[in-house]
Amino acid sequence: MTHLPPPARITCDRLKIGMKVVELDRPWIESPFTIHGFRISSEQQLQQLQACCEYVYVATKAKQPNSGPPPKRHRYTNTQTFQQALPQAKNTYRQAKNVVNGLLKSLRLGQDFDTSVAKKAVKQCVDSVIANQEAMIWLGLLKDVDEYTARHSFNVGLLSIILGRAEGLSPAELEHVGLCGMLHDMGKAEIPLEILNKEGAFNDDEFEIMKSHTVKGYDILKGKTDISPEAANVAHSHHERINGRGYPRGLTDDKISYFTRIVAIADTYDAISSERVYSPARPSIEALRILIGAKGSHYDPDLVDRFVECIGLYPAGSVAQLSSGEVGIVLPTPAELRNAPSILIVRDSQKKICAERFINLNNATTDNSGKPLKIRHLLSDDAFGIDIRHYHEYGFGVTD
Average pLDDT over residues 144-149: 61
64: in domain: no
pTM of the model: 0.81
Residue-level pLDDT at 67: 47
108: in domain: yes
Binned at pLDDT 50, 70 and 90, residue 97 comes out as confident
Percent of the chain with pLDDT over 90: 39
pLDDT in tens, 319-370: 899 999 999 999 887 777 777 888 999 999 999 999 999 898 888 678 777 8
124: in domain: yes
The CATH code of the domain that includes 243 is 1.10.3210.10
70: in domain: no
Average pLDDT over residues 288-301: 92
Q: 3-state secondary structure string, 269-286?
A: HHHHCCCECCECCCCHHH
pLDDT in tens, 19-30: 888 888 887 767
Residue-level pLDDT at 68: 55
Boundaries of domain holding 20: 8-58
171: in domain: yes
Q: Is pLDDT at 115 greater than 50 in this prediction?
A: yes
Residue-level pLDDT at 198: 84
Percent of the chain with pLDDT over 70: 89
Binned at pLDDT 50, 70 and 90, residue 145 comes out as very low
pLDDT in tens, 117-139: 999 999 999 999 999 988 888 87
95 in the same domain as 172 = yes
Average model confidence (pLDDT) across the chain: 85
Residue-level pLDDT at 200: 79
234 in the same domain as 267 = yes
128 in the same domain as 276 = yes
Highest average pLDDT, of 53-67, 204-218, 325-339, comes from: 204-218
When mean pLDDT is compared across 88-92, 95-99, 252-256, 338-342, the lowest value belongs to 338-342
Residue-level pLDDT at 332: 82
Residue ending a domain, choose from 311, 345, 368: 311
- Closest among 347, 356, 349 to 383, alpha carbons compared: 347
Residue-level pLDDT at 1: 42
Residue ending a domain, choose from 277, 292, 311: 311
Give me the half-sphere count of Cα atoms (radius 13 Å) on the Cβ side of residue 268.
28
Sign (positive or negative) of CA dihedral 88, 89, 90, 95: positive
First to last CA, the chain: 42
Q: Which position has the higher pLDDT, 319 or 150?
A: 319
pLDDT in tens, 73-86: 788 988 998 888 98
Question: Phi and psi (nearest 5°) for 91?
Answer: -60, -45
221 in the same domain as 287 = yes
Average pLDDT over residues 275-298: 81
Q: Is pLDDT at 55 greater than 80 in this prediction?
A: yes
Alpha carbon distance 18, 33 (integer Å): 17
116: in domain: yes
Residue-level pLDDT at 44: 81
Residue ending a domain, choose from 311, 345, 375: 311
Average pLDDT over residues 185-208: 90
118 in the same domain as 161 = yes
Q: Which helix (H) or strand (E) holds 321?
A: strand 319-322
Residue-level pLDDT at 143: 57
- Domain total in the chain: 3
Residue-level pLDDT at 279: 67
232 in the same domain as 352 = no
Sign (positive or negative) of CA dihedral 72, 78, 84, 90: positive
338 in the same domain as 307 = no
Q: 3-state secondary structure string, 6-45?
A: CCEEEEHHHCCCCCEEEEECCCHHHCCCCCCCEECCCHHH
Binned at pLDDT 50, 70 and 90, residue 2 comes out as very low
Residue-level pLDDT at 237: 96
207: in domain: yes
355 in the same domain as 210 = no
335 in the same domain as 257 = no
Average pLDDT over residues 203-221: 95
Angle formed by the axes of helices 284-293 and 258-272, to 10°?
140
Residue-level pLDDT at 276: 63
Average pLDDT over residues 274-286: 73
Residue-level pLDDT at 400: 44
Sign (positive or negative) of CA dihedral 119, 125, 128, 129: negative
399: in domain: no
Q: Which position has the higher pLDDT, 395 or 361?
A: 361
295 in the same domain as 263 = yes
When mean pLDDT is compared across 108-117, 134-143, 272-281, 296-305, the lowest value belongs to 272-281
Q: Is pLDDT at 32 greater than 90 in this prediction?
A: no
225 in the same domain as 184 = yes
pLDDT in tens, 235-271: 999 999 999 999 999 999 889 999 999 999 999 999 8
Alpha carbon distance 59, 323 (integer Å): 34
207 in the same domain as 120 = yes
Q: Is pLDDT at 70 greater than 60 in this prediction?
A: no
Residue-level pLDDT at 398: 45
Question: Phi and psi (nearest 5°) for 335?
Answer: -55, -40
